[in-house]
Amino acid sequence: MTTRRRFLQHASLALGAATMPVAASATPTAAQASPLARVRGGRIAGTRADGIHAFRGIPYGADTAPRRFLPALREPTWRGVRDAIAYGMSAPQAGSEGPGSEDCLFLNIWTPALHDGRKRPVLVYIHGGGYNTGSGSDPLYDGTRLCQRGDVVVVTVNHRLNAFGYLSLGGIAGPDYAASGNVGQLDLVQALQWVREHAAEFGGDADNVTVFGQSGGGAKIATLMAMPAARGLFHRAWTMSGQQVTAAGPRAADGRARLYLDALGIAPGDIARLHRLPIDVMLDALSTRDPSRVEDTALYFGPVMDGHLLPRHPFWPDAPPQSAGIPMVIGNTRDETRAFLGNDPANFALTWRTLPAALRLHQYVDIDPDLVVAGYRDLYPDATPSEMFFAATTAGRSWRGAVEELEARARDGRGNTWAYQLDWYPRDVADGDKMRAFHTLDIPLVFDNIAQPGSRTGGSMQAQQVADAMADALLAFARHGDPRCDATPAWAPYTLPRRETLVFADTPRMEDDPRGGERRLYQRVPFVQRGTI
């Protein structure tokens, strides 16, 4: 899968080079046989399969290499017909989708019809991978099934990541770089502006745009909800296991930027040299150890509360007023940290003696592990040390931000916020009972893509039933701003003190304050998002 994706990415780059700004390479026969759309850059030719038009690798911004760390410009225009049949390059990054390219501002669209005057809901998916990795071209994000299921338009997007998108240089290099800590977010704003401008061309409604995203994608959405530049660009928000309660403060962001420059051997007064460094050198320096964690992790890069582009923390001390009227779904999976920590056999062999040290290493909040162990033994007297470890790290590290956002939204009393928890997991696949409802399990379910490469749901009838429920809830939410559907008719908004939550299990059910004892245990200490200080 990785080899094929890399081939498609390089093919897209080659096509882009061949078609801008000179005449396109597509032959008249190929162009006539393909669905055609007109965008602000020129005409594009996509593909059609299973009744759905797909356009991949559409540029929404110019190559960012000449403007490294600066807001992107609009994409250049082209003559003729540009092929939009292969995904564009991923942003520079380590891992399976790297090293990527700074010419990475591309989006992908799936739609049932073109410029037909219909006003279909538009769903824009923002990928996960924290602020470090990922792209909109993963097979799990293919929009075909959602389009077929709900008569909607689906969009996925690439944007700048890690130091290329979130390196805060304003305090080091002056006002010309004031936006550098948030240019990755500004790329998303630019993509949403492009979507608004072109929604009708792809059969969609510019006044009904839902952003949805998992993990880092959800965090990026939470941040957009507090950015004035994003006001009015989307109308509903659905986040999955991804929150951004607090952003990096300017001092913290400046400190990490200086550590990064030190790792590169660049003096603060020599920013011009930073523009000339090869991508691979910059990626290598990302492994510099972050100063804020006991755990051995790489430097954190994420959005910066700079007082202008992001004038406040996204969800502290309250929910952002500019987005109060936007309906929002905030979800999580029951066993989030099994995705991060479940690959270490030692975490399945913990004893009561070794458990406190493991918790001390892997909790994000600062609380005495002995208190946590005692609290969990009261709550779950039959749990093993390893079961307790995964439950506690989920509650104190991955789930806590969701609780904070839900409470902030509920306090304003608008009744337009819904919570879900994915408890279901496949029992009929390898490691199903070991990994349970791990972080990312809900992606193929909500996209109705359980048969796609990379899905770990299995293909059972039960897996499809859960996918049916989650996908239909998302589509109902995109259409009406309310996630109730045939599978979830009782889904009530989240209120205080009840904390109503839809639990996606074998059959969806409502619960008030699931895991309430765990929530109260961890609310003894304040929650500060990683990277804030």
Terminal Cα distance for the chain, rounded: 38
The alpha-carbon radius of gyration of the chain (Å, integer) is 23
- In angstroms, rounded to a whole number, what is the distance separating the alpha carbons of residues 209 and 224? 14
Is 439 among the residues known to form the active site? yes
Which of these is catalytic: 215, 323, 398, 455?
Answer: 215
- Residue of 90, 241, 313, 336 marked catalytic: 336
* Number of C-beta neighbours around residue 268 at 10 A: 13
Q: What is the identity of the amino acid at 523?
A: Q
93-111 as b/e: b if 16+ CB within 10 A: bbeebbbbbbbbbbbbbbb
Q: Which of 324, 139, 352, 177 is nearest to 254 (CA)?
A: 177
Which is the catalytic residue, given 34, 292, 439, 518? 439
Task: Please give the C-alpha separations between residue 83 and each of 24, 40, 44, 63, 216, in angstroms, as whole numbers.
Answer: 8, 15, 6, 18, 30
With CA atoms as reference, report the closest residue to 442 among 223, 246, 167, 214: 214
- Phi, psi (deg, nearest 5) at residue 305: -75, 90
List the one residue out of 526, 528, 485, 529 whose CA is nearest residue 504.
485
Angle formed at CA 234 by CA 154 and CA 153, multiple of 5 degrees: 15
Is residue 101 annotated as a catalytic residue, yes or no?
no
Residue 336 bears catalytic tag: yes
Put the strands of the sheet holding 120-126 in their side by side order. 47-49, 52-59, 106-111, 153-157, 120-126, 204-214, 236-240, 328-333, 417-422, 500-504, 509-512
Two tokens, residue 304: 């910066």
Question: Looking at the DSSP assignment, which residues form a beta bridge with residue 236?
Answer: 210
**Per-residue CA distances from 150 to 17, 52, 129, 143, 155 (Å):** 36, 12, 27, 11, 14
Catalytic residue annotation: 215, 336, 439
